[in-house]
Amino acid sequence: QWAALSVIHNAKSQESSGQVNSAVGPLTDMPATSTPKKQKANEHILSSHTTRILEGRVEGCGYHRDGTRVEVQCDVCRSNLPDGSFMFCVWIKRSSQQGALLQTDLLLQNQSGNSSGKRIDEAGVGEVLRSTVDLEHSRACDGQFEEEYQPIRAVGKGAFGFVWKAIRRCNEQEVIVKFISKARIVSDCWVDDPMLGRVSQEIAILTRVQHHNIVKVLEVFENGSYFQMVMEKHGDGLDLFEFIDMQPRLDEPLTSYIFRQIVAAVFYLRCKNIIHRDIKDENIIIDKCFHIRLIDFGSAAILVPGKLFYHFCGTLEYCSPEVLQGNPYKGPELEMWSLGVLLYTLLFSENPFCDVGEILDAKL
């Protein structure tokens, strides 16, 4: 997921160029998009009045506005505009190295419930990392949650934590548990809930919604380092991306049935003044009867009259042109665009746009 997006330059394409040295890599190793799509070569040198800018990736460290130091990747991309001008865009996201650490944690716990005796043999990962992984796991499961539930296997990971399948000890009911790291919750995402106390906004939102097309929260635990949000398991856990990747032969009535459920969930949220902000195929779970549920409310927010959003928290392929251009947005218009992209993806099994330029042109 893209953590932020900003327009950094806008100039006429006929301007001359100078040169500046930069450690930038090619874009060919960019993360895979959420749905298979056509590939286009898009590597070339960009120019401005005084510098020569290369498309590509830069890795380094930055500080969040709450003071947290994070490793980031910056991807630079040129987009030609219809009036003949062009702009340079930068997408900033967490470094893949941080994601690799979390993935290592999950793999270790899949292999053994007690990883203290295991050794990680991957290059560049030693005893210090192993100790950190063990500590992370113990903090995640500590408390009342561990008394009532038994984690089974890793399901996925995200910006704020990771997701496991677990069983309730008293009746062996299968559930899905999202472990949310308190240290990774930025200041803007903390809320004081009258029933739950101080929790993440995702927890506050999901515990107050009840809709058959939205993931259902059963209960929430916490310890000093984590929230443990227990959710009802839906079907086999197949998401819409995996479903589409199987290339099913969907006729129009079935596609319409699936899409109507998604719209019903979004409409319900709108009536509650809630915006999801990351509607995409990977955030929709589908069962064998084609019933769907919207999941992952990590980017969700409350709509306030007159309030604008200045940061894009979703996925590039589902971002609307006006938000890509760096304009503030109210929220509903972004979700309407995302729904359109999702419908196209359902019908044709690929994203409608290949790159930023095609999104800005908005031509199918």
Which CATH number covers residue 122? 3.30.200.20
Choose among 338, 140, 144, 324: nearest CA to 227.
140
Residue 74 has pLDDT above 50, yes or no: yes
Asked if 157 and 249 sit in the same domain, the reply is no
Asked if 116 and 74 sit in the same domain, the reply is no
Asked if 72 and 178 sit in the same domain, the reply is no
- Which span out of 32-46, 142-156, 199-213, 313-327 was modeled with the highest average pLDDT? 199-213
207 Cβ contact list (under 8 Å, min separation 6): 193, 195, 196, 217, 220
Which CATH number covers residue 313? 1.10.510.10
CA distances from 51 to 21, 231, 348 (A): 9, 51, 41
Q: Where among 44, 62, 96 does a domain terminate?
A: 96
Tokens standing for residue 62: 């930055």
Q: Where among 170, 198, 232 does a domain terminate?
A: 232
pLDDT tens track for 196-216: 999 999 999 999 999 999 999
Asked if 141 and 158 sit in the same domain, the reply is yes
Asked if 110 and 215 sit in the same domain, the reply is yes
Residue 178 assigned as binding residue: yes
Q: What CA–CA distance (Å, rounded) separates 83 from 177?
A: 49
| Residues in a beta bridge with 200 | 190
Residue 99 has pLDDT above 80, yes or no: no
pLDDT tens track for 125-181: 444 444 444 445 557 889 999 999 999 988 888 777 889 999 999 999 999 999 999
| Residues in a beta bridge with 7 | 89
Asked if 111 and 189 sit in the same domain, the reply is yes
Asked if 225 and 266 sit in the same domain, the reply is no
Residues 49, 11: contact at Cβ < 8 Å? yes
Choose among 167, 170, 164, 175: nearest CA to 137.
164
pLDDT score at 21 = 34
Asked if 349 and 282 sit in the same domain, the reply is yes
What interhelical angle do 127-141 and 96-111 show, nearest 10? Answer: 70
> pLDDT higher for 6 or 44?
44
- Residue that has been written with the tokens 């994070």 in this structure: 70
Range of the domain at 121: 102-232
Residues 174, 161: contact at Cβ < 8 Å? no
Number of domains in the chain: 3
Q: Where among 96, 123, 142 does a domain terminate?
A: 96
Helix (H, G, I), strand (E, B) or coil at 56: strand
Q: What CA–CA distance (Å, rounded) separates 278 from 1?
A: 9
Residue 82 has pLDDT above 80, yes or no: no
Mean pLDDT of 338-355: 93
Asked if 116 and 207 sit in the same domain, the reply is yes
Asked if 114 and 220 sit in the same domain, the reply is yes
Q: What is the pTM of this model?
A: 0.67
Helix (H, G, I), strand (E, B) or coil at 302: strand
Residue 262 has pLDDT above 90, yes or no: yes
pLDDT tens track for 272-311: 999 999 999 999 999 999 999 999 999 999 999 999 998 8
Asked if 134 and 198 sit in the same domain, the reply is yes
Asked if 90 and 106 sit in the same domain, the reply is no
60 Cβ contact list (under 8 Å, min separation 6): 71, 72, 74
Mean pLDDT of 217-246: 94
| Residues in a beta bridge with 180 | 161, 227
Catalytic residue list:
278
Residue 256 has pLDDT above 70, yes or no: yes
Tokens standing for residue 291: 């019933």
252 Cβ contact list (under 8 Å, min separation 6): none
